[in-house]
A and B are shown apart, each in its own frame.
Chain A
Amino acid sequence: MEILAQRQRQVFRKGNDSFDIACERRSLSGSVSQRACVFCGSRVVLYPIADALHLIHGPAGCAVYTWDIRGSLSSGPQLHRLSFSTDLREKEIIYGGENKLYGSLCELIGEYSPKAAFVYSTCIVGIIGDDVEAVCKRVSRETGIQVVPVHSEGFKGTKKDGYRAACEAIFKLTGTAPVQVAGKYSVNLLGEFNLAGESWIVREYFRKIGVEVTAVMTGDGRVDDIRRAHGAGLNLVQCSGSMSYLAQMMREKFSIPFIKVSYFGIEDMAEALYSTAAFFKDDPSIMSRARELVRDEVNRIYPAIRRYRRALEGKKAAIYVGGAFKAFSLIKALRHLGMKTALVGSQTGSREDYRLLKEVCDEGTVIVDDSNPLELSSFIVEKGVDLFIGGVKERPIAYKLGVGFCDHNHERKVPLAGFEGMLNFSAEVYSSVMSPVWEFAPRNAKRVHNGA
């Protein structure tokens, strides 16, 4: 497979190449990137805020493709699961869409009484000259509901710039409500989206060790929690690619320190609890409860993990995910299952992410940035992997080649965070890799037939 000349520096083989991976670039036109756009970055981050109105300002497409798109659960309001668009038509393209935006906001706020509203700008909004900021201000003033513009025009950068725009939008809410009398030890969970109820699992761990969660941003999110988030003592940042910027802003404005964590896999989940406990070191009982919890949980899940490992030992995996930070946890989690990672990549990793990835990977592992179906499929074949971890767009690449697949994207319906998440992850990997159906897939059938 010939990699496009302008992409060659975004593909790296550990052991062969000197480390100089190019990343954080715009997607190359015609390369068929797996990334979406700025709007997508903003939309995925803000989506789980369940009591806010999410209005997408533009023609209907951007809204319809993001209707009920994430597996983010809410324990209460479900407003985030509806899709709202100003559905701009030719008339508005010519004369501007401000009136329609104004009317839509007023009607929808009247109908759904949201706690706040986000207005996402799509590609054409700036081009047709709409002053979204002014409309949002006016509606806020008239309705008393804070209306926050999200500067998410698709072409204004990459998905990562969309994360940044979402962080800016959230930051407009933080600190706008008085701090409730919180426990002494409280944290915000940033970059945790409550996919399939993962926030609830993680919250429960923190409750057990004596740490209160002030706000989750944005899983099972509530506007009022975000407004009060500045009362927490510590920000825990998962999915650092999307939320580090918010953590930095909160550190600057509210002097809240942050640490980067991950809740995937045994080590990383344990590490998240330990580093939180270490931060609140004036109460050593937090650390002892954390140790106890980790010990109990690991003892609980380990027998099952070992059974899975017996079957999976020596199998090879490929990982292609949105953010590189998740990839570290996955490599470690796969090692618990006796599996090696032969290919790893992400849509939006940074140089630092890739440098760390290189460190944890085995020799010969291929590392890719902003890859595409042809590159991914050719590396899967070259490396002979048994499992591909990715999202919906990567799934058919694996399946067509007779390779197992685990969905670790934001659409997943199975919680993979925490200790029980590790159990679910192992079960999902096992049930895909060990399925008898692969024997019929032509690639494998031929291998079996040839006695290989």
Chain B
Amino acid sequence: MELKTAGKKFSAVRNACKLCAPLGASVVFCGIKEAVPFLHGSQGCATYIRRYLISHFREPVDIASSSFSEESAIFGGKENLKSGLLNVYSQYKPRLIGVATTCLAETIGDDVGLFLNELKAERRLPEEVRIVNVSTPSFKGTHMQGFYATVKGVVAELCRSGAAKNRTINLFPSFLSCADIRHLKEIFRDFGVQCAVLPDYSDTLDGVSWEKYHKIPQGGISVEEIESMPGSAGSIEFSSTLSAEESAGRLLFERFAVPCFNTAIPVGIRQTDAFLGMVAKISGRPVPEKYSLERGRLVDAYVDGHKYVFGRKAAVYGEEDMVAALAAFLKEIGINPVLCVTGGSSGRFREALAAALGGDTAGVTLKEDADFMDMEDELEDLKPDLLIGSSKGYQASRKFGIPLVRVFFPVHDRLGGPRMLHIGYRGTQRLFDEIVNVLLSKKQEDSITGYTYL
């Protein structure tokens, strides 16, 4: 059955369900060891993105800016870029500075690559300081395009031929939580396989309490680990909407013949099976017993909870890859994802969602390039039992009295967003329990008797 598409009523965006591209770039750069993100444009871009990220991660997030003036907007931002990079170096002594362009720099047509070559020729920065430059105009895509472009940009800049062959697996996990990344690293450790995760902000954006101030938070994947990616045994990339041109794994395959395996974000049993199977295949090692047990417990919980969720309706919103992965998970537990909304407009969401639902798209309405008010328009008719997405769905949740399960990014109104686990059997277990309990809680609160056994 053909996926139903809901149209747009407004040409303006009302409560956008997307963020801008440099935010995605900044998150990726935060996941590299001793790196400082640098936005080429007005001061506000860096500051707004910092504030947005800090409200979620509750950690220091320093993002530099070239702080355009009117002169830079007219004559180009070359001088601001150069002096800004030198100032960042002088303050932070970073190993890598990640330069991402804003709308303004892109619109005036600054040739950042050329400016950086000039700076390099002038030898004003130590040679070991690496500078990665990505183009991230927000008028061309969302924060996810910015995120993926930066992962690819980092690989393109740092990976050269001649890396020694090794048994490491490269992992490009998309925009997951810090807990998710930690869990992925644990999975690889349990397999006994080295992995190189890009980006890895699991410590930099969810770190320990400090004894002294760290200019750059500790953690992240090192420049050397990225440089050795061309010698790896294979790459795994989580995404169901990434195009070949956007894919870092694809680039490693084309340039260095590193096999690239693509899979959905591993939420739910089937998608986690697929991911673990992939690791087993590339590494030639069996899935560790620990995960069979986690899977077994999860199946047991699915059985215990199946009646509470079966036939319920959910609206899912957020990044295309997240929505598709969550829709697949909901389907496998018997919840119908009646409304799937994304602010993205990659053009590949429809196909990804249909694949996630195994072709069974009956009763599912899809909205791409949509905003929160578009979603609200549909909620009125569809009356789902549950909303699943970022904390930005709260206004809709409150308006319609539909409980909200907060996932992924951002979570601005609760503590612990970075520590939310979504992936693997364990993350699925947590999500499943939460969904069941949210539904039970609603049932309990709405009931006249207030049952004490449910």
Contact = CB atoms under 8 A, between A and B. Distances in A.
Contact of B16 (A63, A93, A397): A63
Contact of B108 (A127, A392, A393): A127
Contact of B80 (A29, A61, A65, A68): A29
Contacts of B5: none
Interface string A373-400: 1100110010000000000110111011
B202 interface: no
Given A59-B103, A373-B62, A2 B90 contact: yes
Interface stretch (A100-108, A143-151, A214-222, A246-254): A100-108
A4 B43 contact: no
Interface in B58-87: 58-70, 72-73, 80-81, 83-87
A108 B104 CA distance: 26
B211 A443 contact: yes
B65 A29 contact: yes
A107 B11 contact: yes
A87 interface: yes
Interface in B67-120: 67-70, 72-73, 80-81, 83-88, 90-92, 102-104, 107-108
A401 B209 CA distance: 7
B20 interface: yes
A31 B15 contact: no
A393 B47 contact: yes
A2 B60 CA distance: 20
A235 B59 CA distance: 41
B208 to A, nearest CB: 8
A128 to B, nearest CB: 7
Nearest to A92: B139
B153 interface: no
A66 B13 CA distance: 13
A179 interface: no
B20 A60 contact: yes
B20 A442 contact: no
B38 interface: yes
Nearest to B57: A396
A147 to B, nearest CB: 14
A328 B52 CA distance: 29
Interface string A266-281: 0000000000000000
A59 B373 CA distance: 18
Of the listed residues A26, A30, A37, the one surrounded by the most CB atoms of chain B closer than 10 A to its CB is: A30
A350 interface: no
Given A59-B138, A104-B10, A155-B73, A37 B42 contact: yes
Given A30-B38, A33-B67, A104 B11 contact: yes
B211 A58 contact: no
A84 interface: yes
B453 interface: no
B366 to A, nearest CB: 19
B194 interface: no
A32 interface: yes
A88 B213 CA distance: 40
B436 interface: no
A122 to B, nearest CB: 8
Interface in B129-184: 137-140
A89 interface: yes
A62 B73 CA distance: 18
Interface string B1-36: 000000001111111101111110000000000000
Nearest to A4: B87
Interface in A25-68: 26-40, 55, 58-68
A2 B93 CA distance: 12
Nearest to A101: B12
Contact of A397 (B20, B52, B60): B60
A35 B43 contact: yes
A58 B13 CA distance: 11
A67 B16 contact: yes
A440 interface: yes
A145 B19 CA distance: 30
B195 to A, nearest CB: 28
A123 interface: yes
A63 B16 CA distance: 8
B50 interface: yes
B209 A29 contact: no
Contacts of A40: 44, 47-48
A189 B147 CA distance: 44
A260 B15 CA distance: 36
Contact of A127 (B48, B52, B107, B211): B107
Given A30-B88, A31-B87, A127-B104, A395 B54 contact: yes
A81 B14 CA distance: 11
Interface string A321-348: 0000000000000000000000000000
Given A37-B42, A104-B11, A65 B52 contact: yes
B444 interface: no
B103 A82 contact: no
Given A107-B12, A373-B62, A29 B20 contact: no
Interface string A88-115: 1110110000001001100110010000
Contacts of B38: 30
A182 interface: no
Given A65-B48, A93-B139, A154-B43, A29 B23 contact: no
Interface in B169-223: 209-215
Contacts of A307: none
A396 B56 CA distance: 11
A396 B206 CA distance: 11
Instruction: Name the residue among A34, A100, A124, A442 with the largest chain B CB count within 10 angstroms.
Output: A124
Given A83-B15, A155-B41, 7 more contacts: A31-B67, A87-B16, A89-B140, A123-B68, A154-B44, A400-B210, A440-B209
Interface of A: 2, 4, 6, 26-40, 55, 58-68, 81-90, 92-93, 100, 103-104, 107-108, 111, 122-124, 127-128, 154-158, 372-374, 377-378, 381, 392-393, 395-397, 399-402, 440-443, 446
27 contacts: A6-B87, A30-B86, A31-B67, A32-B91, A34-B47, A35-B43, A37-B44, A59-B138, A60-B18, A61-B20, A63-B13, A68-B395, A90-B137, A90-B139, A108-B12, A123-B104, A124-B139, A127-B107, A155-B41, A155-B69, A393-B50, A395-B54, A397-B213, A402-B210, A442-B209, A443-B210, A443-B212
